[in-house]
Amino acid sequence: MPQKRLTAIRTEVTEQLIIRFSSGDGGRTVNYCPDCDSETDWISFADARAANGCGSVSICELIDRDEIHSSLTAEGHLLVCAASLGTKILKGEQNNET
């Protein structure tokens, strides 16, 4: 009777988060964020929503709680601090509301 042979295969999985901006460099603004106390990328609300993968309500709630930083332009466009948004994503604190 042939002997059974057990082979263990160990795999390692890594995950890389890539945030792409749909409107290219034209949709990004580098500016000072007083909450981060540094220069950061500012992205549009739509790009922030796409990067976070959650609904508009969740982004608004995070802004209301000052968990992500925002700024309103003179034209009335809401920009989101990419550094604070990235921190929320990396901490896995995104909300999956739609």
Least CB distance to Zn ion at residue 33 (A): 3
Which member of 27, 28, 29, 35 binds Zn ion (CB under 5 A)?
Answer: 35
Cα four-point dihedral sign 16, 39, 42, 87: positive
Which member of 47, 54, 62, 69 binds Zn ion (CB under 5 A)?
Answer: 69
Q: What is the spatial distance between Cα 53 and Cα 47, in angstroms, rounded to a whole number?
A: 10
Contact 97, 52 (CB under 8 A): no
Q: Looking up tokens 């992205």, which residue turns up?
A: 43
Least CB distance to Zn ion at residue 22 (A): 21
Binding site for Zn ion (CB under 5 A): 33, 35-36, 69, 81, 83-84
